[in-house]
Amino acid sequence: MATALKAGDDFPEGVTFTYVPYKPENSAVTACGIPVKYDASKEFKDKKVVLVSVPGAFTPTCQNTHIQGYIEKLPELKAKGVDQVIVISYNDAWVMSAWAKANGIKDEIIFASDDGAPFSSSIGWTLGPRTARYAIVVDHGKVIYAEKEPGKDVTVSGVDAVLAKL
């Protein structure tokens, strides 16, 4: 049975995503690169991380409303002690890499794949086969904020809601 995360929970073990690390030789949007595993459970133990999930790369709300806020307010997030922002979607690692590059992101934010949505499914936060729209803040392995959007708007998972909880 899927159990949603809530403030006070430990971030679960065994959570991995895949992403294509930025390299100058793969900087073109059409350059593929090689996906690598990102061990979120391990990485989140010694960092303050904002994990943002969207239903799909290059989709109107995700692109124009949701992710732009995180890109624009990254300095504010860093000033509040955030070590890493990670954007996930059910899209594969190559699509997520292209989406990062299309937004001018190199390695400031990791755009990763929850390919097949295993993590999102494990917490019950999906939209059919897709990852749902949500935000989770993890501080050294402990969840301090976790909210899934109740509707189609960007409210509880947007950057302003997250900044208010940091």
Active site amino acids: 62
Cα 117 to Cα 41: distance, rounded to the nearest angstrom: 16
CA distance readout (Å), 38 to 29, 60, 132, 141, 147: 21, 27, 20, 15, 22
The residue whose two tokens read 């732009």 is: 68
Cα 144 to Cα 48: distance, rounded to the nearest angstrom: 10
Task: Name the DSSP letter for residue 165.
Answer: H
- 3-class secondary structure per residue, 23-84: CHHHCCCCCCCCCEEEEHHHHHHHCEEEEEECCCCCCHHHHHHHHHHHHHCHHHHHHCCCCE
